[in-house]
Amino acid sequence: MGQLAAPGVVIVRLRQPTREVTIDGARTVNRLLDELDLNRESFLVIRNGTLVPGDGRLDDDDVVEIRPVISGG
């Protein structure tokens, strides 16, 4: 878990299925999810234990986790 991002890349940890990808350069959360073909309303993006909103900017060297939204009833 403690992996640091290489300079100029964002490390993205995805769940279900669990995998890790690196993305070159900074971008917004919405753009990242679009590039990964993920619906914004179905996934949470977390950086340093904090949710990042759709218009939040992911900077070079960030490590983020993308988790599916779970709802129950």
pLDDT value, residue 8? 78
- What's the CATH number for 9-68? 3.10.20.30
pLDDT digits (tens, 9 = 90+) for 10-35: 899 998 778 999 999 899 999 999 99
pLDDT value, residue 5? 54
Q: Compute the distance between CA of residue 73 and CA of residue 51 in angstroms, rounded to an integer.
A: 23
Rounded to two decimals, what is the model's pTM?
0.79
pLDDT band (50, 70, 90) for residue 38:
very high
Q: Which residues contact 21 (CB under 8 A, 6 or more apart)?
A: 11, 12, 14, 36
